[in-house]
A and B are shown apart, each in its own frame.
Chain A
Amino acid sequence: MSIESFYEYPAGVALSRFLEGLRLGRLIASKCGTCNHMIIPPRAYCLKCYRPIKEYQTIEEKGLIVTYTRSFINIEGEPVNPPVTWVFVKFDGVDGGLLHILDPSINPQTGMRVRPVFREQRSGSILDIKWFTAA
């Protein structure tokens, strides 16, 4: 059998600010007005003191590779050629981080400084970032 079903998800209060930031070519984090804790992707509530978030800030877009991998298969489990390199990037002074594809011309290393490459045409999606490349 097969199931065909369609879903529509709202990005919500906090993530809408993040996606709007991407459309403008910026990385937006949430900042807690009570304890100053910052996190990306942003949340509508602080994960340290659990007060509501009212403030969102553009952060420095250069981050560090925490870990990386190279996938030889796609979501269907079928081989992909060339393989895709994935990186997890953290940003100075900001909790959380972003997962994305790495520029295929870059050889990844833990601790390498990278920055997002934004597409010219942007729509408010995680795909507005083409990939991360060496900063």
Chain B
Amino acid sequence: MGKKVAIVGAGMTYFRSMLPMTPQEMIYEAARKSLDDCGLEFKDIDAVVSGSAPDAFDGYHHKGLVGVEPSDGVGKPYSRIYVGGGTGVGVAVAGWWHVASGAFKKVLVVAWEKMSHPYPHAQPLFKTIFDPIIEQPLGPNLIWIFALEMRRYMEAHKLSKELIARVAVKNKGNALDHPYAQLGAKITVEDVLKSPVLVWPVHRLDISPSSDGAVALVFASEEEAKKITDTPVWIDGVGACLDSQFWTNRDLAYPYYVYLAAQQAYKMAGIANPLKEIDVFEPYDPFTYKELHHLDALLGKPGLAPKLLAEGQLERDGDYPTCPSGGLLGVGNPIAAAGLMKVAELYWQLSGRAGKRQVPNACVGVAQAWGDLMQVAQVVVCRS
């Protein structure tokens, strides 16, 4: 299906709660590093695919245009992809279209976020994502949607808070080995349970931070990739799927739309049994329970992920390493950049460049992001 597409370079900025840089400066830094990684120059790039989350975070509309100059998009096809929190992996899916279609040979894929712009916090901006007639008058905050879903998930599989808290312990621990991470830390289950309850059952340490940061990847056609590098990482499958805009119409215990997106990607990649055939998992983990919720769907088995977590199988040295990067909980959550960081992690893991985070003999990986009004699934499967 389509022409073969390789990731040949990657780069990123630090993820921090507040970077003293403009979006343009962050985009340039990530793009420059990704090109240096594979020995290319901006002039070698045929098209730019960019991604960033809501305009409201920056307070100016059409904020995609800030990426044009620092990515050398002037005089080239340049587009901005936006599917909310799913943007980071969605931008990689869109980058794949560009090359798989045969229309472009070398494409720069870049995603960024400045969540420190809204003052004092981005939280109030989220209220405009809710339906203006039947939800906004009730004064919803973003976290309670997650709290309702988490509670439903916990009841469906009889899960304890203690077990779910282990996701935060694992991911923040993994992030200690990520050179760009914001919140790498050695914490305990007790630390999570003792952190303030924001919207029960969600505690502060169940939530990823708000962050600034940028990530860039270079995609190339098969012919070009072989000229550029000896260690290309192939994008073997992509998938995208949505559920209803109205979360009252969704199965809160199982994100079936993530399952469908994963199945699209697996079919393209020739993967019949993800549990046996995938070496590295990077599911979207903005909240602790979401890693498990999403991994259930990536594995196609509701309730399996918490069992694997309890057995220690999701650790970096377990049988199913999950978020070896440290994930959003550990590396940070500059929305669009966070999703693309997961695809970058697949590139680093599968090309043997992950340093202290390296999962031995990793050949196949899956990355997934989720967003919009909590109902978008974007999936990428990579193979070395």
Contacts and interface: CB of A to CB of B under 8 A. Distances in A.
Interface of A: 1, 3, 7, 9, 11, 15, 18-19, 39, 41, 47, 66-77, 83, 86, 88, 95-101, 110, 125-127
B121 A77 contact: yes
A100 B137 CA distance: 10
Contact of B123 (A1, A66, A71, A75): A75
B151 A67 contact: yes
A47 B246 CA distance: 12
Contacts of B199: 69-73
Contacts, number: 99
26 contacts: A9-B132, A18-B134, A41-B248, A47-B244, A66-B152, A67-B148, A67-B149, A67-B151, A68-B148, A68-B151, A69-B148, A69-B200, A69-B201, A69-B202, A72-B196, A72-B199, A73-B143, A76-B121, A77-B121, A77-B123, A95-B249, A98-B248, A100-B138, A110-B151, A126-B133, A126-B138
Nearest to A7: B132
B155 interface: yes
Contacts of B59: 1, 3
A121 to B, nearest CB: 15
B310 interface: no
Query: How large, as a class, is the contact surface on chain B?
Result: 20 to 34
B124 interface: yes
B249 A74 contact: no
A95 B249 CA distance: 7
Contacts of A69: 144, 147-148, 151, 199-202
B141 interface: yes
Interface of B: 59, 121, 123-124, 127, 132-135, 137-141, 143-144, 147-149, 151-152, 155, 196-202, 244, 246, 248-249, 252
Contacts of B137: 125-127
Contacts of A72: 196-200
B134 A126 contact: yes
Contacts of A19: 133
